[in-house]
Amino acid sequence: MCGIWALFGSDECLSVQCLSAMKIAHRGPDAFRFENVNGFTNCCFGFHRLAVVDQLYGMQPIRVKKFPYLWLCYNGEIYNFKQLQKQFGFEYQTLVDGEVILHLYNRGGIEQTASMLDGVFAFILLDTANRKVFLARDTYGVRPLFKVLTDDGFLGVCSEAKGLINLKHSTSLCSKVEPFLPGHYEVLDLKPSGKVASVELVKFHSCKDEPLHVACDTVEALPSAGFDLETVKSNIRILFENAVRKRLMAHRRIGCLLSGGLDSSLVAAVLLKLMKEININYPLQTFAIGMENSPDLLAARKVAAHIGSEHHEVILNTEEGIQAIEEVIFSLETYDITTIRASIGMYLVSKYIRKKTDSVVIFSGEGSDELTQGYIYFHKAPSPEEAAEESERLLKELYLFDVLRADRTTAAHGLELRVPFLDHRFTSYYLSLPPELRIPKNGIEKYLLRLSFEDSNLLPKEILWRPKEAFSDGIASVKKSWFSILQDYIDQQVDDLLLEKAAEKYPFNPPKTKESYYYRQIFEKHYPGRSSWLPHYWMPRWVKATDPSARTLKHYKSATQE
Annotated binding site for ATP: 257, 289, 364-365
Task: Count how many Cα atoms sit within 13 Å of the Cα of residue 413 in the half-sphere of its side chain.
Answer: 24
The dihedral sign for the CA sequence 56, 411, 6, 29: negative
Q: Which candidate, 53, 6, 326, places its Cα nearest to that of 159?
A: 6
Alpha helices (H) along 80-183: 81-88, 99-116
- Measured distance CA(336)–CA(436) in Å, rounded: 31
Instruction: Give all strands of the β-sheet with 178-179 in edge-to-edge order.
Output: 31-37, 40-49, 3-8, 155-158, 146-149, 178-179
43 is catalytic: no
DSSP state of 29: B
Spatial distance between the Cα atoms of 498 and 484, rounded to a whole number of angstroms: 20
Q: Which of 2, 43, 44, 216 is catalytic?
A: 2
Which among 41, 44, 31 has a CA at the least distance from the CA of 3?
31
Q: Which residues are annotated as a binding site for L-glutamine?
A: 97
What 3-state class would DSSP assign to 114?
Answer: helix
Q: How far apart are CA 173 and CA 165, in angstroms?
A: 8
Residue 275, amino acid: M
With H, G, I as helix, E, B as strand and everything else as coil, classify residue 249.
Answer: coil
Give the annotated binding-site residues.
97, 257, 289, 364-365
Calculate the CA 43 to chain-centre distance. Answer: 29
Report, as residue numbers or ranges, the catalytic residues: 2
